[in-house]
Amino acid sequence: VLENLRRPQPALAQYSHACSLDPHSALARFKKARVLMALRQPREALVELELLKNVAPDEANVYFLLGRVYKSLGDKTAAIRNFTCALNLDPKAAQYIKEAMESLDDSEDEEAD
């Protein structure tokens, strides 16, 4: 609810508490990582997502968010690898995943200018 109200700091506190109560809660950990990304803390989000990848290895959304994290960190190779995993796990989301992969080239072009 706090996340939807655009209150990321209190939402992060709640998700952190939920993760401490149940370290294997995939949903709490995923939402925590998403809030960390919204707060522009990709390295912290990366830690959460790497843990989550072990808890939910077949979840395409985890790999998609990992791709976004690596993109924000400037690691194009890791971003493509994770977007590709997401695509393999959820072919129905191909449109969104391909757009994210194509945006890697856009951000590279912006850096060259």
**Per-position DSSP letters for 15-31, written without gaps between them:** HHHHHHH-TT-HHHHHH
The maximal CA–CA distance of the chain, rounded, in angstroms, is 47
Q: Position 41: which residue type?
A: Q
Determine the Cα–Cα distance for residues 24 and 39; give it in Å rounded to an integer. Answer: 23
Name residue, tokens 């393999």.
Answer: 88
pTM of the model: 0.82
Task: Give pLDDT tens digits along the chain (113 positions).
Answer: 455 556 788 888 888 999 888 988 899 999 999 999 999 999 999 999 999 999 889 999 999 999 999 999 999 999 999 999 999 999 999 888 889 888 887 655 445 44
Backbone φ/ψ region at 75: left (φ over 0), alpha (ψ -120 to 50), beta: beta
